[in-house]
Amino acid sequence: MSKSKVITIGIIILLLIILFDQVTKMILINQNITIIPNFLSFNYTQNTGVAFNIGTNNIITIIIINVIIIGLIIKFIKDNDLNIGALISLFIVLAGGISNLIDRLFRGFVIDFIDVNIFNFPNFNIADICIVLGIVFLIFIIIKSTINKEK
């Protein structure tokens, strides 16, 4: 498959993830819903920081760093000959970053709502899941590629 087709697919995935994340956040504003008692709830929270509330209340700095990282990912996608898996993984990370940036720009905070009651883990959202999964997939692809090159 050509790089342009993969990029087109990546952009579609990116837009669908952003749409899904933003819609779920709008639906769950000010909601507290128990899904599985003592395990999983949707509890609306406002996160003014980044992962695990790091950098709380430094919104301008966080926005600048977010824009720089998004720009670097886009440049990396454009400038490198990556396999399909790596490209899609980067588009998934990009979607999560853009969706959380949308929250920061228009709300001044990120809406988190998924509350897993294990080890007092902080609330998170669909965009956060995408960022983590995209990075995990990318790491897996890099490890697999490295192992294949050594053979």
Q: Which residues are catalytic?
A: 112, 128
- What is the spatial distance between Cα 107 and Cα 128, in angstroms, rounded to a whole number? 17
Question: Residue 89's closest CA among 150, 122, 125, 131?
Answer: 131
- What is the spatial distance between Cα 117 and Cα 8, in angstroms, rounded to a whole number? 38
108 close to 59: Cβ distance less than 8 angstroms: yes
Q: Is 48 exposed, middle or buried (0-12, 13-18, 19+ CB in 10 A)?
A: middle
23 close to 103: Cβ distance less than 8 angstroms: no
Stated as kind and residue range, the H or E segment containing 136 is helix 126-150
